[in-house]
Amino acid sequence: MMTYYIIIGIIALASWMVSSKLKSKFTHYSQISLRNGMSGAEIAEKMLADHGIRGVQVISTPGQLTDHYNPMDKTVNLSEAVYNERNAAAAAVAAHEVGHAVQHAQAYSWLTMRSKMVPIVNVSSSMSQWLIMGGLILGIASKGTSIGLYVAVAGLVLMAIATAFSFITLPVEYDASNRALAWLKNKNMLSQEEFAGAEDALKWAARTYVVAALGALASLLYWAFQILGRRE
């Protein structure tokens, strides 16, 4: 038990540090104006065109860090700052999100797998904890009968699916960043300083997914031990 809390504490601290570092990086690289004067939206549209992708719309979405690609309606959604701004951070984010659109157009296997899991994960992530806790309580109340165990194991399976989703997300995100950086470099879209900033920003963004995946795995292992490791 104590070991688990120590691990979770370390992961929580790492998550806070990576998140704080990411915000500071993007704030810093937002000060580096692009020599080509292009906005994030223009960067995204050019990358789409260069890859021969038609039918994908680049739109502005409210909020911060709300950037994403939606494969359902084929839209590259850029937060207002990224959509309008003309700096290295905006270029990095815009190109990264288009990287997902390129993955979709080329039927990138990891993205396909991840997309198929989304409906299941939307359910499993919200129900797993309730089933696990309910199963454990039911097991105590029913004085050792197996029904509580079955309910808890069902919750554990749902948690395992969500954890697998977190790890499948890693190659999707890293590949999108690699595609973005390759295009930015090959098309000479950025100066050397701008490219270095975009690359650094995307590396820190990717690390947030690594920490999240490790946190999900730690929780899964803890509850697996609680449910399976201590049963009589």
Give the pLDDT confidence of 22-75 residue by residue, as tens digits: 889 988 999 999 999 999 999 999 999 999 999 999 999 998 889 999 999 999
pLDDT tens profile 87-146 = 999 999 999 999 999 999 999 999 999 999 999 999 888 899 899 989 888 877 776 668
Contact at 8 Å (CB) between 198 and 89?
Answer: yes
Average pLDDT over residues 148-176: 95
Cα dihedral 14, 218, 100, 64, rounded to 10, equals: -50
Model confidence at 185: pLDDT above 80: yes
Task: Please name the amino acid found at residue 26.
Answer: F
The whole-chain average pLDDT of the chain stands at 91
Model confidence at 231: pLDDT above 80: no
Burial class (CB in 10 A: 0-12, 13-18, 19+), 134: middle
pLDDT for the residue numbered 7:
80
pLDDT for the residue numbered 136:
86
pLDDT for the residue numbered 143:
66
pLDDT band for 15, please (50, 70, 90 cuts): confident
pLDDT for the residue numbered 173:
97
CA distance 170 to 218: 16
pLDDT for the residue numbered 12:
86
Query: What b-and-e string marks burial along 164-187, b requiring 16 or more CB atoms within 10 Å of the CB?
Result: bbbebbeebbbbbbebbbebbeee
Average pLDDT over residues 210-228: 90
pLDDT for the residue numbered 57:
97
pLDDT for the residue numbered 139:
79
